[in-house]
Amino acid sequence: MYKIVNKRVLNPTVVLMDIEAPLVAKKAEPGQFIILRTDENGERIPLTVADFDRKKGTVTIIFQIVGATTEKLAHLEKGDSLCDFVGPLGKATHTDGLKKVAVVGGGVGCAIAYPVAKKLHSLGCEVHAICGFRNKDLVILEDEFKEASSKYVLMTDDGTRGQKGLVTNALKTLIDSGERYDQVITIGPLPMMKFVCLLTKEYGIKTIASMNPIMIDGTGMCGGCRLTVGGKTVFACVDGPEFDGHLIDFDEAMARSNIYQATERKKHDEACNLFKKEVK
């Protein structure tokens, strides 16, 4: 069993937890993920490693409540335990030799972008972090990003916090102002990553996108997380989750990500109703 040693609600739909998992913490690196189950009858879900503390033996996860399992997970409290917590899985973010990088995150994807920015910053890389949210109520990890970057740009769709506009607007402004990046790393909703990659392709800037497709076993056997990259089929769990953004077939990935959307919503509603009955 894996104990929850800390829980913090970051916004109405996003929760942070520190999980006691010393063997995972010992090996974890930015860019990797874990697969967990809340209980013996629970489904397996992948969550990116948001942070880790090797001395304390803890791994931080940050998740958005979108389905039945994340709803169940959000109802657990400090002191409760998870049934399974497997990892680290996937390949770590490549950070060697990078001197100046723009890290572009969107929504809860910023939770995945943060450890990447933190690692690069610790290595002496100049990090420009661009984070986008729909509105001020959904902003997360602002102080953490400021500490892990030399330049932090906050964007909101409605302008209620930071600058009004999209992350692509901010990135284009920085590039046009003369900033020269060795690489851009983008993590967030698929449409956002697609347009970040289209923009950087115009400027010839290498861009890495972190993909989070449907996943079951996390070992490359089920094929659920398959993507088309450079015309070839790859598996996000073992070949990724990070890929050359200019080679990813984003349209295919978006179509596949919507396959179970209705089922996910139904299961989420069922889980919500179950918890309401238990409260009564």
Domains and CATH numbers, the chain: 2-89 (2.40.30.10), 100-257 (3.40.50.80)
What pLDDT does residue 221 have?
84
pLDDT digits (tens, 9 = 90+) for 242-258: 999 999 999 999 998 87
Cα angle: 237, vertex 240, 245; to 5 degrees: 135
45-53 and 126-133: which strand pairing?
unpaired
pTM beyond cutoff 0.85: yes
- The whole-number pLDDT of residue 135 equals 94
Structure confidence at residue 232 (pLDDT): 95
User: CA 222 to CA 275: how far, in whole Å?
Assistant: 31
Per-residue model confidence (pLDDT) at position 223 = 85
Q: Which tops the pLDDT comparison, 276 or 95?
A: 95
Whole-number Å distance between alpha carbons of 224 and 253: 11
pLDDT of 134 reads 94
C-alpha distances in angstroms, 231 versus 89, 227, 228, 235? 24, 9, 6, 13
Contact 104, 174 (CB under 8 A): no
Does 276 have pLDDT greater than 80?
A: no
Q: What is the mean pLDDT of the chain?
A: 91
Other CB atoms within a 10 A radius of the CB of residue 197 amount to 23
**For strand 100-106 and strand 183-187, is the pairing parallel, antiparallel, or unpaired?**
parallel
- Please give the residue that has the higher pLDDT: either 256 or 274: 256
pLDDT digits (tens, 9 = 90+) for 57-71: 999 999 999 888 899
